[in-house]
Amino acid sequence: MKDVLDAEVTAGPPLLVVDLSRLTFMDSWALHVILAARQDLHAAGGTMALASPAGAVRRMLEIADVAAVITVHASVHDAAGQ
């Protein structure tokens, strides 16, 4: 995941939507990778949004209060239309 996010951030999109719909588990390292990518993208003038987290992944995002720094959407469609 880190390599993919690093490549996407390097490309410099104005909006990077990370689809979490197929992710069933997230540990603290994965959360760190997402937050670091968001910080790098933000420094380059871009925005990150998370889409479709479910179950344990959604719970991890809630516990870490990720929504305070990254917008979390119910779907990729919603995130792309922000």
Architecture of the structural domain at 2-80: 2-Layer Sandwich (3.30)
**DSSP-derived secondary structure letter, 75:** S
CA angle centred on 22, ends 75 and 41, rounded to 5° = 65
Quick check: 16 and 47 in contact, CB under 8 A?
A: yes
| pLDDT tens for the chain, residues 1 to 82 | 899 999 999 999 999 999 999 999 999 999 999 999 999 999 999 999 999 999 999 999 999 999 999 999 999 999 998 6
Q: Please state whether the predicted TM-score (pTM) of the whole model is above 0.75.
A: yes
Give the model's pLDDT for residue 81: 87
